[in-house]
Every structure is written in C-alpha cells, then in structure tokens.
Amino acid sequence: MKRAFLAIAAAHLCATSLGAQAATATRGAFGALSDGTKVEAVTLTSSAGVSAKIMTLGATLQSLIVPDKAGHKDDVVLGYDTAQDYLTRPDYFGASVGRYANRIAKGKFSIDGKAFTLAANDGPNSLHGGKLGFDKRMWKIDSVSSGADAKVVMSYVSADGEEGFPGEMKVTATYSLNDQNELKLEYRATTSKPTVLNLTNHSYFNLSGNDTRDVMGNMVTLHAARFTPVDATLIPTGERRAVAGTVFDFATPHRVGDRIRDAKDQQIKFGRGYDHNFIVDGAAGSLRPAAVVQDPVSGRTMEMSVTAPGIQFYTGNFLDGTYFGKGNRAYRQGDAICLEPGVFPDSPNHADFPTSRLNPGQSYVNTIVYKFSAK
C-alpha cells in the first residue's frame, strides 16, 4: 500500500517537474510596417533561461536572450527594435535569407542550357536573393507549439520568376528550442521547376550581450580544414585551399582579432577581414560540428552543428556606424560574427561545388543547431 502511494507520488512529482520544465511558445503582435502590414512574433522560451523571438517579416530571429556565467540574461544578436527598421536599413540582421544566400557572379546562371539573370545588388553580383529576397517578405505562421521542444513553423511561397529565379518555391523555416538550450533551425523547400537555392540564417552574434564589446576578443573554432578563396568581388575562384599555416586556420580556438589585420594575406584584404566560406569537415547532409564561438568575459559559448557543406564566416566588416540598432546603438565594423551555413557561394557557376540545384519532387533541407552555455 505504502509502496504504491510512494510510486504514485513519485510519478506525480515527475510529471509536475516535467511540466514545469517544458519549453514554451507564445504568439503575439510585433507592431506594423509603415504601410500598415501587421507583423507578428513568436517567442520560444526554455526553462534554462534562453529565449528566442522570431518575427514574421523575413522569418527573422529578432532577439535571442542567453544567460551569461553569472546568470544575467542579455540579447546576443544584432537587429532593430521595430519591424519597419529591418526594411528601412536592411542588412539581413537575423533574417532567413533566400532564394540564394551569398553571391552569384554577375547575377547569371543557367539550368539545362537556359540562362537566368538576377539583379546585381552587390557591385556586379547578386547577393542574398536580390532586391526583395526572403528577408524582406512576410512569412506566414503555420503552427506554434510548446513542449519538450517549443516550436514555430513559418512558411513562404515564392512565385515562379520572383527575383529572376525559376519555379514556384514553397519554403518553411522551423525554429525549435529545448531545455538543453539548443535552438534548432530547419529550412525546407520544394519547387515546381528545376531551380537553384541556398537558404540560411544571417544572425549577427555578439555574445557580450547588448553589444557592450566588439567580437575581436571572441575565441572562434571552425571545424574546416579548407576554405574557398575569393576574387576582389568576393566570388570564389574555384580553389579549395588548406587553412593550415594561414590566418584562416581556426582548427584550434583563436581570437578573432589576432590575425584579422594581417593584410599580407590577400584574402583578408579582399574580405576587409573574414568574409569567407569554410568547407565544413565531414559529410555534408549529416549534422556535424561546424563552429564554436566563445566570449571569455561573459563566459557565453555558442556551438553550431550543421548539415550544410559550407559555412560563411563574416565579421561584420561592412558595418560602418550608420546602422543604429536595438537601443539606438551604432553598429560598427567587427561588432558581430555571422556564421551562415549553406552551399558554397556562386555554386550555380561551379560544376564541382556541392550542388545548389533543386528539382521538382525533391525536398531541400538545411538544418542548423545553435547550442548555448555559459561558464
């Protein structure tokens, strides 16, 4: 009798604590654009103190609150306080980028002998999906749920020919957060015609929280033995170069700032710092460790695992103090680290790069896991 009671009590306790530990998702308004379009946001909160807000404009990670080693919670991603600012002063802050994240040389590619031309919006090249890429589109909220994973699914349908790309494309972005402080992001897509794509998230991380310091003192590890060098317009030359013995070697942790001014390396000159695609070690398609960012002052660490073949490591080199972000802070060069997992830049024009092609009947998946901790 007594034993049965104890078992029931234990089961009850367990259920209660499980219930208390579940991650939660809440949906709410996030203001409106200047044309009146309403923007919504979903906030995912883990019982371990991380909370991610995703807004429908651009399926954008608008804020990401992470505790430091003392338990203080701060926002670790750059962005704006209002949705309209993301359109007025756009720079892909936290955005879901598509159809083709990163560059396509001269905005030109062909599929099965048919030529396509995109807008040149970055010097001679096409960047991040063109003038009105996925970051500037309104996404729909398909579902919101709490539980072991708090989750939101957002979707966008891109019309055949939008921004010059062939095929109607149906895209989803699923963000989920668990109590181990893992934020998982999964992009999926299908198409009605053969096309090319590269979907990624363009968060600017500053683990100091509220950007109190730049990222030059952050320690970065990149699980990448090779990277793809670029020309002066940041288009890959086609070479896959070993990082060993160069300023691109992050196989063991290095301070971002230690070698970023080493202009003896022409690649650093071209990028104005780091703005390069690293080839992630291991088999693309399987989730494997790609990067670790550690801020020694706050103690915050972010570990990223990806399924993509590459990851663009960008140190906010174009932030020039004219972007006034959250809390009216000026964002300046070196204020953030972007790590954008995807296929390599300009893949449609490099037959020997991992393919960016998607055919009707195929499903595209790009999975990114960001795990946060502090010590």
Residues that bind ligand GLA (CB under 6 A): 91-92, 102, 127, 234, 275, 312, 314, 318, 338, 340
CB nearer to ligand GLA: pick between 74 and 91: 91
Q: Which are the contacts of 3, defined by CB distance < 8 A and separation ≥ 6?
A: none
Buried b (16+ CB within 10 A) or exposed e, 150-165: bbbbbbbebeeebbbb
The catalytic position among 162, 276, 340, 350 is 340
> How far, in whole angstroms, is CA 235 from its chain's centroid?
20
Query: Has 303 been annotated as catalytic?
Result: no
Query: Has 12 been annotated as catalytic?
Result: no
CB nearer to ligand GLA: pick between 74 and 340: 340
CA distances from 346 to 109, 338, 342, 355, 357 (A): 9, 19, 11, 10, 12
Q: What is the C-alpha separation between 95 and 106, in angstroms, rounded?
A: 23
Q: What is the C-alpha separation between 350 and 95, in angstroms, rounded?
A: 26
State the nearest-atom distance from the C-beta of 340 to ligand GLA, in Å: 6
State the nearest-atom distance from the C-beta of 102 to ligand GLA, in Å: 6
Residue nearest ligand GLA, Cβ-based: 314
Tallying the residues shown for the chain, one arrives at: 375
State the nearest-atom distance from the C-beta of 314 to ligand GLA, in Å: 4
Q: Is the CB of residue 103 less than 8 Å from the CB of residue 346?
A: yes
CB nearer to ligand GLA: pick between 252 and 322: 322
Q: What is the C-alpha separation between 305 and 258, in angstroms, rounded?
A: 25
State the nearest-atom distance from the C-beta of 242 to ligand GLA, in Å: 21
CB nearer to ligand GLA: pick between 91 and 163: 91
State the nearest-atom distance from the C-beta of 201 to ligand GLA, in Å: 11
Alpha helices in 196-331 (DSSP H): 266-271
DSSP 330-360: EEETTS-EEEEEES-TTGGG-TTSPP-EE-T
State the nearest-atom distance from the C-beta of 312 to ligand GLA, in Å: 5
CB nearer to ligand GLA: pick between 91 and 295: 91
CB nearer to ligand GLA: pick between 45 and 102: 102
The closest alpha carbon to 19, from 147, 144, 145, belongs to 147
The catalytic position among 128, 202, 254, 350 is 202
Give the residue numbers marked as catalytic.
Answer: 202, 340
